[in-house]
Amino acid sequence: MKQFVIIGNSAAGIAAAEAIRKADKQSAITIISDEDYPAYCRCLISYYLAGQVLVDKILYRPENFYKENNITLLLNKKVERVDPKKNRLVCVDKAQIPFDALLVATGSSPKFPEVKGIKKENVFGLRTIKNATEIAERLPMTKTACVLGGGLVGLKAAYALSKRNIDTKVIVKSKQVLSQMLDFAAAGFVQRRLVEHGVELVLGQDAVEIIGEGEIKAVKLDSGKAIGCELVVVGKGVKPNIELVKDTGIKINEGIIANNLLQTSIPNIYTAGDVCESFDITVQAPSINALWPVAVEQGRAAGVNIAGGNIIYDGSLGMNALEFFGLAVVSLGMYKVPDKDPSYEELVLDNPKEETYKKIVLKNNVIVGVILVKKISNSGVFLSLMRKKADVSVFKNSLLDDNFGYPAIKDLMPDKERIYV
Amino acid sequence: MKQLLYEVKKCLGCRSCEVACALAHSLSGDLYKALDEEKLSMPRKKVLACGGKNYPVSCRHCEDALCVDACMAGALVFDKQKGQVLHDAERCVGCWMCVMVCPYGAIRPDIKDKMPLRCDKCKDKDEPACVKACPTRAVIEQEKAEVKK
Amino acid sequence: MGNVEQRSIDKATQEVLKKAQAENINTVWDRFDQQQPQCGFGQLGLCCTVCNMGPCRIDPFGEGAQTGACGANADTITARNLARKVAVGASAHSDHGRDVAHTLSLISDGAKHTHKGGHSHSYEISDVEKLKALAVEFGIDSTKNKDEMAKELSKKLLEEFGRQQGELTFTKRAPKKRQEIWKKLGITPRGIDREVVELLHTTTMGVDNDYKNLIQSGMRCALSDGWGGSMIATDVQDIILGSPQPIRGKVNLGVLKENYVNIVVHGHEPVLSEMAVKAAQDPELLKLAKKMGAEGINLAGICCTANEVLMRHGIPVAGNFLQQELAIITGAVEVMMVDVQCIMPALQEVAACFHTKLVTTSPKARFPGVTHIEFNPENAYETTKQIVKLAVENFSARNKERVNIPAEEMDLVAGFTKEVVFQILGGKYRATYRPLNEAIISGRLRGLAGVVGCNNPRQTHDYFHTTLVKELIRHDVLVLQTGCSAIACAKQGLLIPEAAKLYAGQGLQEICEAVGIPPVLHLGSCVDNSRILTAASHVITEGGLGEDISDLPAAGCAPEWMSEKAITIGFYFVASGVYTVFGASPFATMGSKNVTDYLTKGLEGVTGGSFEFCDDPIKTAKLMIAHIDKKRQDLKLKPAMYEAGKA
């Protein structure tokens, strides 16, 4: 009987715990979380803020999950340091927790830009239930809000706030929203939807200061203009939570570096989720894809390997699905061609009238990126092709057709077809 | 545990299964009345043509389903007893993660209701509507065990 | 619909269906079941096979393609499909009319030779009065001798088919106001063939894309049937075969006789069957029948051919459309002689299960490998004699153990033509529509209803017809019937004078008792729907009930329709201003809200008539009665004299 410890109680941590328990009914599993809720769906925080879901609905697993799986859950416990030499964890409260194998799934935290006033009260990230609850508490006193950042978190925050009838402006440094997942054209569709529904976008400008004494009064922009508001939400991306492995001998880069078994540089210490820097299949380089499905996948693979299995994890790819005011958008992998690289090819179908947009990025006839606006149901098919690095030259011309779908690729898939007889 | 199979050489691409599916999921269940419903029902099944053959595409109720993994709301679960991926509309927030990852393209977004459209095998009915509707009997419902033979 | 009670309300039908099931013989009901579920695109009219870019179909649930390859949307596609059906239905009736007119022409030609060797069994002019009346309508000198008159008339009638300009002569029979409405809409039919051809032209790829225009073209084509082809068929058949007079007959499978040679005539054109009636009485053949061990030769009919020979000779009716196979399954039919229309392809296979010989007689309607004895008017008697002889000789092949004729048969009175119905109402010597108009004006009669059309396995056989008609007469609505609908009601005993007492409301009962007519009047075959149009025009002319057919407290219904001809009849009724309800299932236009709304709501402001679709007989009766009551109100007539009695 072994002692397995998991730091992090979200997608990767839970998936790992489930995978371990599936293979090993005996060993002890401990999950440590610095939050005070059982596992919940982090991505639903903005829906919670919008008032569309209640707290009990965002629980990721039933209440009896930990008990049923014989998992010890330690809430409100913050790990200060990993001690690989002694195979133990040292907590802020000085407690020491030994392990035979450890999974570091500490996730990430909102990045706060270094501008004046960013430390003020009423400047929030949107990551945890706690964040959302705190924002919600401020709303009765709030008429206008600024969101810093036009990424997914920023826009989801803006969406939630406007659903709560807060006059919301989004300040975006780039000339478009979602610049980390959409090209300019696709972002245009999203922007139109947001504006139509009363979300104001301030593009191409960045916040330089948060003005106000005690209470926030306004956000000052690099253009010199100031935008009045009483609340600020920061959505400027996330940074992996790596503090507890710094200077422990565990190799880090931006995140914790993992091999294809999701081991860190120390073999009995694994990593998964937003903190894990694994390999990006489309970019063909180490990278962090801080995404829920990726975390689940990595967590499961790590869990299997911790329990003595041997899953080779090929790597992840950036992917996201989102929806704003009834417009569905999917982005997979590389959403635009690296500057004028002739080895890439783009297939584009742009129909503003029907609000549909499809783009496929190919390199040597292998799909490396996809953007779909409105008609998104084929995205999983493209995802399969990307994962398999399949040569699509045979049906390249029909990739963008509405009639294209799984049947066209079925012979390329490794699993034997079972339902078409 | 039953699953839906398709005898591709028999499929003529008439799309009767699509119509039957949309009808089975309409409020009235009556072809003429269904077209007057405020929100038109949508089929969970689509017939795609490929290489001169026709393939009805719909949820396969995978045991190790990617959509279940991707569902951050916990709204999708694989029910071992039923052998089906079940969807809890109460929990679903319409994030489209399931749509994004389904390798068969068998989940479509219903934007109006913010719900993924997936085959539910017509729930409590004795036989899925598409099986009944197929004029050439290309849609077959069969025990999974038989398939393995 | 496995059990026989769900399939038909008719006991004879149920009995033979049980026999069919026991002997594993498939009938139309089984084949209909095998077709379930039927194609949604087809039902909604959203499948287009017009051109070779197709077949295309419109996604009725709005997500997939909303236009065909050519760009035609649901409106265009459903309207085009419907228009094509109208053209086909009109073709069927009108081609029938053409054949009859052609026969008239042959009679007038042949008349010259009759004295040199013609025999007594050739066709002749039977109703000279009617010939004269038509001659007057066509501007022919009615003092000429009948053969010359017939010759000139047949020429003029045949010209109606090929006419390119002007107006069909019979459209003048319509009330003035109706003629003006047609002119204003530009739908007065010009030539019978022209309207069919032109309508078909407009439905081909890339011609008419305006659904309203397509439907109006459809109405013009349908009018060329109702006030053209069908009317010619009816009137010329009356001239040649004689105008029907009220006559008693018997109906249902029980009319087949166990110890007789049974010949069933089936189809729509009575010209040949008329001769079969004579041939069945041929002493030589009767003698042969006796020799074969039969007591005699029994002729019976199915579908409209049956109605035609019933109305003129009292030949019994074996059944309506859905009973055609059942007649054979009784095991007692030696020959089924068929002409055109509504002859199920399945007959060949069913006949093969028995000794029954199926005989086709029209070059237009044949089966591979089936005995074909072609009819032509010149040697009609010889032809039918040959067929009757075949039947007699086939008697010995009958397997007596497999014979099972249901006992059910019912009396009926038929033969109420537009001339006769109202002569009767007015008394024999006072041939006028006055009493009818008075009865409606006073409210003793609430109004008139035409209940016509086919059977359809979609609906419990005969149920809609009889339930609707009973409900109508209970509300003092005099019902005029034709075709398979009349046969349905006849089987349930609604076409005898005694039915008035059992089913009719008090007002209708009083009239029926005073005049001695049934509460439901049998006007003939489906081409005889034209008799209803002329009768309605006469009522208007008589006065007191408005200026146009659309003013009349009247409504129409095809409860169990299945044929394209029914759609055409519906079109010419609506184009003539009649509110017309279709049962069974709606037209295949439900895929287009625009087209369906235009048919059910929009047309009233255009022609004064409109379509309605309803699948429940009681609701249908309510709709028709409400319409009749509204028209009574519009005419400022008193409400109906009596409340409806108990159901």
Tell me how far apart the alpha carbons of residues A199 and A201 are, in angstroms, rounded to a whole number. Answer: 6
pLDDT band at A189, cuts 50/70/90?
A: very high
pLDDT of residue C116: 39
Residues of chain A contacting B46 with CB distance shorter than 8 Å: 405
The domains found in chain A, sorted by start residue, are: 3-109+239-306 (3.50.50.60), 123-236 (3.50.50.60), 326-412 (3.30.390.30)
Can you read off the two tokens belonging to residue C440? 């409606």
Can you read off the two tokens belonging to residue B25? 């999921």
Are C57 and B133 in contact (CB < 8 Å)? no
Residues of chain B contacting A355 with CB distance shorter than 8 Å: none
Can you read off the two tokens belonging to residue A344? 């890439």
pLDDT of residue C430: 58
Q: Which residue from A267, A264, A273 is spatially nearest to A241, judged by alpha carbons?
A: A273
Q: Which residue from C482, C225, C272 is spatially nearest to C372, judged by alpha carbons?
A: C272
Q: Which residue from C576, C606, C572, C602 is spatially nearest to C589, judged by alpha carbons?
A: C602
Residues of chain A contacting B100 with CB distance shorter than 8 Å: 293, 319-321, 330, 332, 376, 379-380, 383
Distances A79 to A74, C277, C624 between C-alpha atoms, Å: 11, 107, 83
Residue A72: its H or E element = strand A71-74
pLDDT band at C646, cuts 50/70/90?
A: low
- Residue carrying the six token digits 């010009």: C190
Average pLDDT over residues C190-206: 98
Tell me how far apart the alpha carbons of residues C143 and C131 are, in angstroms, rounded to a whole number. Answer: 11
pLDDT band at C531, cuts 50/70/90?
A: very high
pLDDT band at C350, cuts 50/70/90?
A: very high
pLDDT band at C417, cuts 50/70/90?
A: confident
Can you read off the two tokens belonging to residue A205? 């400008």
Is residue C443 pLDDT above 70, yes or no? Answer: yes
pLDDT one-digit tens code per residue, A273-326: 999 999 998 888 999 999 998 999 999 999 999 999 999 998 999 999 988 888
Closest-CA distance, C51 to chain B, in angstroms, reads 17
Range(s) of chain B covered by CATH 3.30.70.20: 1-58+124-149, 61-118
Q: Which residue from C340, C135, C317, C167 is spatially nearest to C239, judged by alpha carbons?
A: C135
Are C41 and B31 in contact (CB < 8 Å)? no
Tell me how far apart the alpha carbons of residues A93 and A115 are, in angstroms, rounded to a whole number. Answer: 32
Q: Which chains lie within 8 Å of chain C at 3 or more CB pairs, if any? A: B
Closest-CA distance, A139 to chain B, in angstroms, reads 22
Check if the beta carbon of residue A224 is closer than 8 Å to that of residue A216. Answer: no
Is residue C601 pLDDT above 50, yes or no? Answer: yes
Catalytic residues of A: 43
DSSP H helical segments within C203-334, as ranges?
211-224, 230-241, 270-279, 283-291, 303-313, 324-329
Mean residue pLDDT of chain A comes to 92
SS3 label, residue A73: strand
Range(s) of chain C covered by CATH 1.20.1270.30: 74-241
Are B3 and A413 in contact (CB < 8 Å)? no
- Contact of C555 with chain B, judged by CB distance below 8 Å, is answered with no
Ramachandran sector of residue C175 (left: φ over 0; alpha: ψ -120 to 50; beta: rest): beta
CATH class of B1-58+124-149: alpha beta
Chain B nearest-CA residue for A405: B105
Tell me how far apart the alpha carbons of residues B145 and C266 are, in angstroms, rounded to a whole number. Answer: 55
Are B16 and C40 in contact (CB < 8 Å)? yes
| Exposure letters C624-646 (e unless 16+ CB within 10 A, then b) | bbebbbebbeeeebeebbbebee
pLDDT band at C176, cuts 50/70/90?
A: very high
Asked whether the whole model's pTM tops 0.95, one would answer no
Could you say which architecture CATH assigns to the domain B61-118? 2-Layer Sandwich (3.30)
Is residue C111 pLDDT above 60, yes or no? Answer: no
pLDDT of residue C428: 53
Least-confidence region, from C162-166, C339-343, C496-500, C639-643: C639-643
pLDDT one-digit tens code per residue, A378-394: 999 999 999 999 999 99
SS3 label, residue C623: helix
- Residue carrying the six token digits 């599916």: B21
Tell me how far apart the alpha carbons of residues A181 and A171 are, in angstroms, rounded to a whole number. Answer: 17
For C416-634, CATH number out of 2.130.10.10, 3.40.50.2000, 3.40.50.2030, 3.40.50.300 equals 3.40.50.2030
pLDDT of residue C109: 84
Average pLDDT over residues C451-479: 97
Distance between start and end Cα atoms, chain C: 27
pLDDT band at C611, cuts 50/70/90?
A: very high
Q: Which of B20, B40, B132 sits opposite C40 (nearest CB)?
A: B20
Can you read off the two tokens belonging to residue A145? 């809000």
Are C60 and B43 in contact (CB < 8 Å)? no
Range(s) of chain C covered by CATH 3.40.50.2030: 253-402, 416-634
Mutation choice for B interface testing from C41, C56, C61 by most B CBs within 10 A: C61
Whole-angstrom Cα Rg for chain A: 22
Residue type, A17: A
Can you read off the two tokens belonging to residue C574? 């609506």
* 3-state class percentages of chain B: helix first, strand second, coil last, to nearest 5: 25, 25, 55
Closest-CA distance, B71 to chain C, in angstroms, reads 25
Are A292 and B72 in contact (CB < 8 Å)? yes
Are A293 and B69 in contact (CB < 8 Å)? yes
Longest dimension (CA), chain B: 46
Q: Which chains lie within 8 Å of chain B at 3 or more CB pairs, if any? A: A, C
Is residue C433 pLDDT above 90, yes or no? Answer: no
DSSP H helical segments within B45-135, as ranges?
66-70, 97-101, 129-133
Is residue C647 pLDDT above 80, yes or no? Answer: no
Q: Which residue from C429, C516, C472 is spatially nearest to C624, judged by alpha carbons?
A: C472
Q: What percent of chain C has pLDDT over 90?
A: 88
Q: Which residue from C371, C335, C367 is spatially nearest to C354, judged by alpha carbons?
A: C335
- Contact of C583 with chain B, judged by CB distance below 8 Å, is answered with no
SS3 label, residue A117: coil
| Interface contacts B/C by beta carbons within 8 Å | 45
pLDDT of residue C427: 59
Is residue A172 pLDDT above 70, yes or no? Answer: yes
Are C591 and B35 in contact (CB < 8 Å)? yes
pLDDT of residue A52: 82
Is residue C546 pLDDT above 90, yes or no? Answer: yes
Closest-CA distance, B95 to chain A, in angstroms, reads 6
Could you say which architecture CATH assigns to the domain C74-241? Up-down Bundle (1.20)
Q: What percent of chain A has pLDDT over 90?
A: 77
- Fold of the domain spanning C253-402: Rossmann fold (3.40.50)
ipTM above 0.90, yes or no: yes
